[in-house]
């Protein structure tokens, strides 16, 4: 089998994901804008007369501005410290995967941006304040920004106190999972085309970008390039898969390597994201449930909260067509074949580990059974086998864990609350 190494480039979605998960971008932009605003307002002050409500002289202005700048540095350090503590708490008590939820939290970024902007503005105006020229408008705006910063700080404390609750973290992960399902599993997908006939020896394209996780791929670009080269592209890895350096990325059928450089359309990152990977959302919810069911935590109620959101995600997937694993061009010719997750894969991901870790909890077994019974009522017959298999496994788990007949009978009753009334 022929093979070829090729370099790739980052995709726009990876850049967007990086910006959304970075703490420094919004504060940095706010600092630049506030410095520009400081220079601009000082220039306006110098073309106008009057103090505009500021009655102190140059020394008073310098004192006010230096106090504001020092206070904002303190505020910024405090917000940074609180955020780090929240990240440590989320990583140790819930799951390292949910740290992304805090890194993407807009409240923390807005708080940091507000304090950095106030500091930068005050420091810029302080530098421009002269003995014979007091920028009254600028000083007054700096004072206003202080009151805004205090309000933002109070909101940040309240937001963080609520954000570190288990229910808030679960809801945040679930909301992002729902968005990913909407993007990746539309109710009316494009026609996939018939399975292509793959003939001849394929050219294997390998990863030369270093190890990484497949975070997504540009299907339309792959199809466009493959069509122009008269090729069929078969991805060897799916979204969420780890690819080592030199690992196979894809096979090319019917085209020379020089005519079909499609490896650049596959994006690699350090960790999975939900941009094109709704299964990663289910993975995080399962991790939260598994941590809650660990002997050191023993919190089945939190596990049930995670199951509630898994239930909602599976209901959404249950009524949507699964991705066929083929993408055709405008002429209906399949140009891209890729590995995808089937309905049974999602069911297994959502249930297996929780069933195993929660086998000794009546609350967990009953909630899982209630979820599976509801999905059986919702789905068509073709999607029943994995659900019935999970129900059978739940029954087997109850028989192993509960020697008393009464407990086994209770465990066999589905319940939307776990125990219910």
String of DSSP letters for 363-399: HHHHHHHHHHHHHHHHS-GGGHHHHHHHHHHHHHHHH
pTM for the whole thing? 0.84
Range scoring the smallest mean pLDDT among 263-272, 310-319, 340-349, 394-403: 263-272
Closest CA to 160 of 73, 88, 86, 104: 86
Most confident of 5-9, 220-224, 256-260: 220-224
Average pLDDT estimate for 132-143? 86
Residue 5 has pLDDT above 60, yes or no: no
User: What are the tokens at 261?
Assistant: 């450089």
- Are 212 and 242 contacting, i.e. CB atoms less than 8 angstroms apart? yes
Residue 192 has pLDDT above 60, yes or no: yes
Residue 375 has pLDDT above 90, yes or no: yes
End-to-end CA distance of the chain: 63
The average confidence (pLDDT) of the chain is: 87
Residue 230 has pLDDT above 90, yes or no: no
- Are 261 and 6 contacting, i.e. CB atoms less than 8 angstroms apart? yes
Tell me, what DSSP letter sits at residue 266?
E
Average pLDDT estimate for 153-179? 91
- CA distance linking residue 119 with residue 337, whole number of Å: 53
Residue 8 has pLDDT above 50, yes or no: no
What is the pLDDT confidence band of residue 190, given thresholds at 50, 70 and 90?
A: low
What is the pLDDT confidence band of residue 10, given thresholds at 50, 70 and 90?
A: very low
In the chain, what percentage of residues exceed pLDDT 90? 52
Alpha helices (H) in 185-299, listed in sequence order: 219-229, 278-292
User: For residues 343 and 418, which has the higher predicted lDDT (pLDDT)?
Assistant: 343
Average pLDDT estimate for 215-229? 88
Residue 54 has pLDDT above 90, yes or no: no
What is the pLDDT confidence band of residue 417, given thresholds at 50, 70 and 90?
A: confident
Average pLDDT estimate for 163-182? 92
What is the pLDDT confidence band of residue 12, given thresholds at 50, 70 and 90?
A: low
What is residue 131's predicted lDDT score, i.e. its pLDDT? 73
Residue 408 has pLDDT above 60, yes or no: yes
Range scoring the smallest mean pLDDT among 9-18, 135-144, 285-294, 357-366: 9-18
Residue 260 has pLDDT above 80, yes or no: no
| Max intra-chain CA distance, the chain | 91
User: For residues 287 and 56, which has the higher predicted lDDT (pLDDT)?
Assistant: 287
Range scoring the smallest mean pLDDT among 207-211, 252-256, 377-381, 389-393: 252-256
Average pLDDT estimate for 352-371? 95
Residue 258 has pLDDT above 70, yes or no: no
Residue 395 has pLDDT above 90, yes or no: yes
Residue 4 has pLDDT above 50, yes or no: no
What is the pLDDT confidence band of residue 14, given thresholds at 50, 70 and 90?
A: low
């Amino acid at each position: 089998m022929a093979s070829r190494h090729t370099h790739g480039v980052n995709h726009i979605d990876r850049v967007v994901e990086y910006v959304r998960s970075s703490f420094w971008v919004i504060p940095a932009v706010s600092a630049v804008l506030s410095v520009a605003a400081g220079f601009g307002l000082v220039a306006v002050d110098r073309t106008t007369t009057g103090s505009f409500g500021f009655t102190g002289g140059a020394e008073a202005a310098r004192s006010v501005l230096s106090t504001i700048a020092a206070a904002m540095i303190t505020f910024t350090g405090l917000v940074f410290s609180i955020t780090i503590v929240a990240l440590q708490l989320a990583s140790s008590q819930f799951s390292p995967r949910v740290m992304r939820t805090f890194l993407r939290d807009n409240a923390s970024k807005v708080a940091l941006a507000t304090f950095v902007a106030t500091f930068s503005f005050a420091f810029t105006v302080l530098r421009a304040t002269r003995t014979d020229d007091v920028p009254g408008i600028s000083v007054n705006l700096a004072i206003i920004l202080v009151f805004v910063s205090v309000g933002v700080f109070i909101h940040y404390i309240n937001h963080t106190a609520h954000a570190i609750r288990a229910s808030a973290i679960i809801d945040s992960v679930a909301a992002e999972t729902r968005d990913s399902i909407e993007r990746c599993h539309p109710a009316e997908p494009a026609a996939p085309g018939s399975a292509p006939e793959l003939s001849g020896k394929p050219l294997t394209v390998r990863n030369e970008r270093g190890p990484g996780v497949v975070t997504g791929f540009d299907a339309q670009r792959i199809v466009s390039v493959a069509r122009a080269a008269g090729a069929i592209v078969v991805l060897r890895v799916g979204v969420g898969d780890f690819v080592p350096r030199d690992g196979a990325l894809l096979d090319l059928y019917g085209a020379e390597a020089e005519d079909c450089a499609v490896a650049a359309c596959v994006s690699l990152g350090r960790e999975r994201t939900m941009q094109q990977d709704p299964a990663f959302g289910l993975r995080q919810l399962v991790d939260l449930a598994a941590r809650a069911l660990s002997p050191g935590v023993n919190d089945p109620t939190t596990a049930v909260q995670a199951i509630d959101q898994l239930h909602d995600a599976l209901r959404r997937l249950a009524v949507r067509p699964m991705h066929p694993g083929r993408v055709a061009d405008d002429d209906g010719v399949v140009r891209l074949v890729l590995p995808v997750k089937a309905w049974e894969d999602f069911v297994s991901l959502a249930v297996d580990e929780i069933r195993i870790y929660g086998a000794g909890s009546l609350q967990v077994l009953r909630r899982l059974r209630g979820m599976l019974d509801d999905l059986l009522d919702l789905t068509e017959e073709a999607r029943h086998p994995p659900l019935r298999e999970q129900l059978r496994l739940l029954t087997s788990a109850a028989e192993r864990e509960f020697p008393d007949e009464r407990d086994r009978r209770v465990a066999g009753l589905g319940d939307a609350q776990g125990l219910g009334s």
